[in-house]
Amino acid sequence: MSKKRQLLIDTALTLFYNHGIHAIGVNEILKRSGVAKRTLYSHFNSKEELLLAALEARHRLFIQWLESKLSNAKNDLEVTTVLFQALENWFDNNEPRLGEFRGCFFINTCGEYSDVSCEIRKLCEQHKSKVRQVIADKLSIDNQDNVAALCILMEGAIVTAQVSGKNTLLIEDCINASQAMLR
Amino acid sequence: MSKKRQLLIDTALTLFYNHGIHAIGVNEILKRSGVAKRTLYSHFNSKEELLLAALEARHRLFIQWLESKLSNAKNDLEVTTVLFQALENWFDNNEPRLGEFRGCFFINTCGEYSDVSCEIRKLCEQHKSKVRQVIADKLSIDNQDNVAALCILMEGAIVTAQVSGKNTLLIEDCINASQAMLR
DNA sequence: CTCAAAGTAGACCAATCTGTCTACCTGCAA
DNA sequence: TTGCAGGTAGACAGATTGGTCTACTTTGAG
């Protein structure tokens, strides 16, 4: 992978995530990264292709982060506490790998692309599916029924922190609610 | 209120909600509504002011819808079932007052506006605060502790339905989870 | 050293963006 | 009847959009 290509993806990801996709033009990405326009269009056929690469990069980054966080959990109860405490760190900008918290990049992206069957939306859906699978893999067979509800709670925490700001009780409520579900 | 003004707000709301805000230009709104550009700028100083009016209109509409739905519930347990069944209808496009489901307009809007202290974001936050209050008012004093978790679950259901599509078990899981919390 | 691949700056294009303006028309109230 | 608020169409302005293109330079492997 070319260094310039990677730089373009990283810069695009940061700008798209921080300001929204339609709000950022390719010229902005070029100016910020210091890469020439010709170089961008030799690596990507369009802004949309660059966005797809950025989504994939964010997907890999987030899944790696999530797996590394959950790897410390030794039982189902710990999975929920570790999960929501990791999210709390993210909301508080104490997870440098994830960058400044601006909600979920994939949820934000879905808000900007209405065609549910386009490539972009498919990537977003696949991301959520993978997140769910990572969590499912960490839970014992007894609690597989609760994976969906746990994920819904997680999504709710992310958007609530984004829209309403992180309430001190937010994560506490999530942990209480999720542990009430565990058998 | 002028009829043209209302028409502009309604058209802008529909287009912004269906396609995203930055993706829709004022010319598109004018073409769709059949209103002259001069008229738009005599009622609103900018596209942003029109957006603010659209957010307020959506806020009133959604709160009215929510209150009318919850008015049928006779106890705390019914509040949760009625709430999530109403959401399910929305996801299935069986709530004509809310239009075609495209997630939460306020969450989507936050994804496009990064400055948390701008007027737009403030309206989004106020909307969520009001939603929470409407639900709190319907629950008995015993369950006020669970209002936050219930709202988180609701937000999670909305974004999950938007990004991953409505799973048949989604609402069932929400009802089960929320009723496990009620005392 | 050679040479192709990769990168550079930035002019340029057509389209679109938000917002302004002129000139005119319509309906209604005093 | 007069006058004005509110509406019309659409030209226009200046900036910005995504994307193409030319001509030149840098870089690194064989």
| Boundaries of every domain in chain B | 54-181
Whether nucleic acid strand D comes within 7 Å of the CB of B38, the answer is yes
The set of strand D positions with any atom below 7 Å of a protein CB reads 6-11, 16-23
* The pLDDT of residue B106: 98
Q: Which amino acid is residue A66, in one-letter code?
A: L
Q: pLDDT digit string (tens) for B50-108?
A: 999 999 999 999 999 999 999 989 999 999 999 999 999 999 999 999 999 999 999 99
Q: What percent of chain A is modeled with pLDDT above 90?
A: 91
Q: Give B54-181's CATH code, choosing from 1.10.10.10, 3.30.413.10, 1.10.357.10, 3.20.20.450.
A: 1.10.357.10
Whether nucleic acid strand C comes within 7 Å of the CB of B43, the answer is no
Task: Collect all residues of chain B within an 8 Å Cβ-Cβ radius of residue A20.
Answer: 22, 111-114
Query: Residues 6 or more apart from A177 whose CB is under 8 A from it?
Result: A153, B149, B152, B153, B177, B181
Give dist(CA B68, CA B106) in Å, integer. 20
Q: pLDDT digit string (tens) for A5-23?
A: 999 999 999 999 999 999 9
Query: Residues 6 or more apart from A160 whose CB is under 8 A from it?
Result: A167, A170, B128, B151, B152, B155
Contact by Cβ (8 Å): A154, A182: no
Strand ranges for chain A from DSSP E: none
Domain A55-181 has CATH 3.40.30: no
**If you average pLDDT over every residue of chain A, what do you get?**
95
Residues in chain A: 183
* The pLDDT of residue A182: 82
Contact by Cβ (8 Å): A178, A150: yes
By C-alpha distance, the chain A residue nearest B101 is: A114
Three-state DSSP string of A57-103: HHHHHHHHHHHHHHCCCCCHHHHHHHHHHHHHHHHCCCCHHHCCCCC
Give dist(CA A130, CA A134) in Å, integer. 6
Give dist(CA B175, CA B150) in Å, integer. 10
pLDDT at A72 over 90: no
Band of residue B1 on the pLDDT scale cut at 50, 70, 90: low
Question: In this complex, is the C-beta atom of B118 within 8 Å of any C-beta atom belonging to chain A?
Answer: no
**If you average pLDDT over every residue of chain B, what do you get?**
95
pLDDT at A88 over 80: yes
Whether nucleic acid strand C comes within 7 Å of the CB of A108, the answer is no
* CA dist list (Å): B31 to A102, B1, B11: 34, 21, 10
Q: What percent of chain B is modeled with pLDDT above 90?
A: 91
C-alpha closest to that of A145 among A136, A133, A153: A136
User: Can you tell me which residue has the tokens 């069932």?
Assistant: B172
